[in-house]
Structure 1
Amino acid sequence: VGHLPVAGLALILGIDRFMSEARALTNLVGNGVATIVVAKWVKELDHKKLDDVLNNRAPDGKTHELSS
């Protein structure tokens, strides 16, 4: 049984952590896009509601700031 070089293992783990976050972000964006595409495909996309949400407006027409 051989040994694992610690420096190489640390490099791989460091890169994998970043790649894991990138995969999660890509998955989130992909799911959002797919949801909109399917809703449009089955003709159930509410364009006004989508526009309101993307422009940070509530259904009452008011703009709300996000708290941090």
Structure 2
Amino acid sequence: MSTALVHRPTENAALKSVQYNVQTPPAVVLADLLIEAREMGDRYGVRVLDCMLDRALGLVPQDG
């Protein structure tokens, strides 16, 4: 059985207390970082920065 399927009330309570007030950098900065990540061959960085750029441009809804 996967541990991801186990209900963990204490973990859920701890995560709810964490505030995520992270401000996304401007789209221009994210685009520059995305280009640099592609040039370096950083697949994970490309994936993360691509998602951040989509959010900064309003192409996907913001969480919460």
Q: Tell me the TM-score normalized by structure 1.
A: 0.28
Q: Which has the higher contact order (CA 8 A, sep 6+)?
A: 2
Q: Tell me the TM-score normalized by structure 2.
A: 0.29
- CA radius of gyration, larger in: 1
